[in-house]
Structure 1
Amino acid sequence: MKCIIVDDEPLALNDMERQLTKLGGIEICGKFGNAKAALDAIGALDPQVVFLDIDMPVMNGLEAALHFQEALPSARIVFVTAYQEYALKAFEVNALDYLLKPVLLPRLAHTLQRLESAAPAPSAAANAEASGTQAFIRCFSSLSVEYGPNATQLAWRTNKAQELFAFLLHRRGQQTRKDTLIELLWPELAPERSYALLYTTVYQLRKSIEAAGIGIRILNTKAGYELTTDDIVIDVDDWERRMPPADENLPDQLQEYETWLEAFTGDYFEEQDYEWADAERRRLRVLWYRYALRLAALLEEHGMPAYGLDWLYRVQSRFPYSEDVYFLIMKLHAALGENSMVEQQYTLLVKMSEDQYGHPPSADIAAWYAARRTDPSATLDP
């Protein structure tokens, strides 16, 4: 087991080295008089344990611990300090242990025993492979990560943690800069505080994912983070992959159309309503809209106008301000000889148009409707 020691007091640094050497069973691969130097070296040294003083200038141990956890999530943190009042804060950043100066040899031996028994947590990918845990990520309607035979949902410690995960998922496979995440999640905070929150939130997400044993990873990149999902099914990706051919109009394909459209259970991150997801939300909505109108037309074409009408009403419920949908419903009711329903839809259209747009329906639709009232048997199109 490899460790590094970080303390700005040379005497304390050397004393910790002496006591660890006396106890044995641990390799000291680095000693540092400040946290920044240790952070610069941690990638090359790859220690399993960091003995970290809290009361240091420039960057104190509590802040440094967040950076260590962000840079090397598997490393265990053991705080060493002369101030008892830091104990609670130490455990808030998931330290394995807390040693009070002057460090006594029996107490340090107990810490080493805890380190030996606390085996490093396996990676999420390794957990998933070993346990066979299956996971499914939902983005339609509301973000959720479900795993295991009982579809257990990954818990979000805070709303910010959920949004951070959602944004990284939205940009999966791409690097996202830390300053971009700061501006998104904590724009009102001072940089020192916002970066500390970012590192803590990423650390907590990683811990939750590892505990679930699912193949999601949040990777460090040069300037930020990248989320990867291995072979986990994501409903949005799966839905687009199964998109029916746009030029297919055979009767036996209608069920495929219907099944695919019904899998769109709600807008992209609809409940969370993230502003940054608006463009993708609109793109997916328009895709569903076009295919739903095409299905309605195909059902009418293949002699099932009532089913086509049902789909038009579904579209109308999701797109209540689309004049075109009202008109399609009116025309199909007219084709079925249901003149009272034509009247009803036109009345609703007039109210919607005036309420939402401040003007009556388009002249073409008004002319079509006027012609229908004059001669209900007319089949004129504008």
Structure 2
Amino acid sequence: MRVVLLDDEKAMHLIMKRMLAKIEGVEVVGSFTNAASAEAFLSGNEADMIFMDINMPRENGVAFAQRLRESGREIKLVFVTSHTEYALSAFDVYAYDYMVKPFEPERLQHTVRRALAEARGGREEAAGAAASEPRVHINCLGRLEIRSVRQGLVKWKSSKSAELCAYLILQRGSLVSRARLIEDIFGGMPRKNAEVYLNTTAYQLRKLLDAIGMKESLHSDANHYALNLSPAQVDLHLFEAGCRELAVVDQTNLDRATELERTYVGNLFGDLDYPWAWSEIERISQMYAAFAQRLSLALMNAGDSQRAIRLLAKLAAHNELDEETVKLYMQALAMQHNREALTRLYARYADTLQEEMGVRPSVELSRLYASLLAELDAAE
């Protein structure tokens, strides 16, 4: 595995190189003190993983990571920083891990060996999977995009063609009447104009699908439309199926559950505010929250409170008023004997409840907080 180091402190390069040298299969191919130098290197060289600091001169690590993601690079990004407050921003750019300085060599080894195991598994499966690998990927979580193996990110013909595609994706191949589409997508427009606009939008979507090898995927007749997604892989459908299959998360399926959680990079359709999708956005959001809570509890039961805390921080940002998340978060912080963070979390939650809803934390949550503090007192 080819590794790049990005940190403005050269002493950190030496420390990381010593730690990584003890892990078989790892080669440090470059070390840089600023993002511009790292980017220049990566433009002509391959790398599998970057260990990067966040606070650096001229450009911080999160901004650099965002640019890497926008360019389509799927390199694994591991943030190594002295600060905990950037964790949510890091996972917004699909960070592979977030390590807080100082950390033990075992912490680094765990992350690298997990990546090596995934890479080995991928190579073993590649030959058999190549023939059945979907040539089109449709991403609905956190954004709305179509990616073709041949063409990369596909550009929408118009915003309405994207909306029509999103609408039909949620129907899962079922027929939808023209009247319903006009009402939901083109509401407020004169009927005659709306029908013309629907025809034009459907034509644009059909041309886009034809160009990426999904010819005849958009079915239409005099009164209906339907979208056949069998040639494509849809992240939304994979996520829903995974949540159903992993109704119980434990040590036997912890890695699989962790990978599934990473596919949820944001709410359904991201920032696209489609009124007709509000109920589905809420349903998928609640499905993710329940799954992430199951995974967090499994991580805590496995003794991995650090990974549980990272996940719960992401989940708390997703819904800061969810009491079940706060309970788990408090318990995970107590596992690390982090009284300061525990107190800060409870106080912030209480303040938010008061500001947003005019109420105080429930008796159950308050008792849990008190008992965790008592346990920490007894352990000191």
TM bucket normalised to smaller: 0.5 to 0.7
User: Counterpart of 2:218 in 1: which secondary structure?
Assistant: strand
Alignment partner, residue 198 of structure 2: 198
Residue matched to 1:256? 256
Aligned to 2:270: 270
Q: Match of 2:139?
A: 138
Q: Deviations over 1:261-316 (max 9, x none)?
A: 11112211122121222222222222221221112212221222232222222211
Cα deviation, 1:16-49, whole Å, max 9, x if unaligned, reads xxxxxxxxxxxxxxxxxxxxxxxxxxxxxxxxxx
For residues 287 and 358 of structure 1, the distance between their equivalents in structure 2, rounded to whole angstroms, comes to 27
Length-normalised TM-score, structure 1: 0.59
8 A contact 1:135–1:147 mirrored in 2: yes
Output one character per residue of 1:329-369: Cα deviation in whole Å (capped at 9) or x when no partner.
22332343222122111111111111221112112323444
Q: Secondary structure at the match of 1:377?
A: helix
Q: 1:324 to 1:148 in 2, by over 3 A?
A: closer
Larger deviation: 284-293 or 135-144?
A: 284-293
Aligned to 2:152: 151
| Aligned 1:288-327 pairs, distance under 5 A | 288-327=288-327
C-alpha offsets along residues 149-196 of structure 1, whole Å, 9 cap, x if unaligned?
Answer: 34141x323222221221122213111111111112222222222111
Contact 1:134 1:148 in 2 (8 A): yes
Deviations 1:186-220 (A, max 9, x none): 22222222111111221222223223332452212
2:342 is the counterpart of 1:342:
yes
8 Å CA contact 2:143–2:268 kept in 1: the answer is yes
Secondary structure, counterpart of 1:206 in structure 2 = helix
How far apart, in 2, do the equivalents of 1:361 and 1:339 lie?
Answer: 19
In the aligned structure 1, how far is the partner of 2:165 from the partner of 2:208?
A: 12
Amino acid at match of 1:202: A
1:170-189 superposed matches below 5 A: 170-189=170-189
Which of 1 and 2 has greater Rg? 1
Whether the 8 Å CA contact 2:320–2:349 is kept in 1: the answer is no
Relative to the length of structure 2, the TM-score reads 0.59
Contact 1:134/1:214, CA 8 A, preserved across alignment = no
In structure 1, the residue matched to 2:219 is 219
Preserved CA contact (<8 Å) 1:289 1:315: yes
**Secondary structure in 2 aligned to 1:233?**
strand
Counterparts in 2 of 1:216 and 1:346: CA distance versus 1, 3 Å? farther
Show the counterpart of 2:364: 364
Change (3 A) 1:370 1:213: closer
Amino acid at match of 2:305: P
* Percentage of matched positions with identical amino acids: 22
Runs of 4+ residues over 6 Å off in structure 1: none
Q: Could you say what secondary structure the match of 2:219 adopts?
A: strand
Aligned length: 246
State whether structure 2 residue 227 is matched by structure 1 residue 235: no
What amino acid sits opposite 1:354 in the alignment? Q
**RMSD across aligned positions (CA):** 2.5
1:322 Cα offset (Å): 1.2
TM-aligned CA deviation for residue 139 of structure 1 = 0.9
Letter in 1 for 2:348: L
Q: Residues 296 and 216 (structure 1 numbering): CA distance in 2 closer, same or farther, change over 3 Å?
A: farther
Tell me the alpha carbon deviations over residues 240-271 of structure 1, each in whole angstroms, 9 at most, x when there is no partner: 3344532352x342111111111112211122
5+ residue gaps in structure 1? Answer: 1-131
> Which residue is 2:248 aligned to?
247
Q: How far, CA to CA, are the matches of 1:306 and 1:138 in structure 2? A: 29
Distance between the aligned counterparts of 2:330 and 2:179, measured in 1? 52
Alignment of 1:9-88 (within 5 A): none
CA contact (8 A) 1:215 1:230 kept: no
